Structure 1
Amino acid sequence: MESQRLFVATFMAITFALLAFLLVAIDWAAASGRLRRNQWVGIRTRSTMRSDRAWVAGHRAALRLMPLHLLTGVGLLLAVLSAQTVERVHLIGIGGAAVFVVVAVITAVVAGRAAKAAEGEPG
């Protein structure tokens, strides 16, 4: 059972770390203008997709929240690796996925507001 716990914990830890890294790397590339507006990668809300200026402005605003993504990833990595049972690893994994979704929604709201402001729209 210990080997199963270790395997699942390691898999989830790597997943959380990669997810946090990818979110930060993608946002940084979009905020710097290296990742152009597209239909596949980045914060793709109606307001961020409106123009290139809105795209960059939204991602620059979201960049300020990237430490939160990194802290979430590192915290969850440590939590799953320190969990004593495979059941707790699963619970942390489910909770961790929910936390990532909440942080992503908050980030999208911040990006959307900044994109609207860049286009001269209210709120």
Structure 2
Amino acid sequence: MTDLIVSLTTAASLGIAGVILAAVAYRGQRETLLRNLWVGLRTAALMESDDAWVAGHRAAARYLCIAGAGLIVSAVASVFLTEAAVAVVALAGCAWVLAWVFIASRVAARAAERG
């Protein structure tokens, strides 16, 4: 029973985070993600202007989508695993998202600087 609770709560957390990242990517690609202090990539280059924000998020959308997809895959996998394996999958999902968000931030900053 404990394995099931751990699996489901981990899957829910990872899945929600993955969907949020995918939604940010989608809105960034469609240029509907307004500059704010809560959601999106917030580097110095992106926060300089609305144009930099839009250009950066449009350029980073693909990478943010990959990050979100990795979390969603981790969420689905965690439903079928034991408690120990869920921890490994969750950590792998977190490492995956960190790597891709870092890449997305670099791509976004370069695009924002180019204008």
The verdict on a shared fold, with TM-score over 0.5 as the criterion, is yes
2:88 aligned partner: 91
Q: Provide, for residues 14-69 of structure 1, a one-character-per-residue CA deviation record: whole Å limited to 9, x for no partner.
A: 11111111112123334434332122221100111111110000000111224412
Aligned residue type for 2:92: G
Query: In structure 2, what is the Cα distance between the partners aligned to 1:14 and 1:48?
Result: 31
The alignment-based identity, stated in percent, is 32
Q: Does 1:38 align with 2:36?
A: yes
Structure 1: runs of 5+ lacking an equivalent? 119-123
1:105 aligned partner: 102
From 1, 6, 10, the counterpart of 1:8: 6
Aligned residue type for 2:11: A
Root mean square deviation of aligned Cα? 1.7
Q: Provide, for residues 83-115 of structure 1, a one-character-per-residue CA deviation record: whole Å limited to 9, x for no partner.
A: 1x2111112212221221111111111111111
Aligned residue type for 2:100: V
Structure 2: runs of 5+ lacking an equivalent? none
Q: Which has the higher helix share?
A: 2
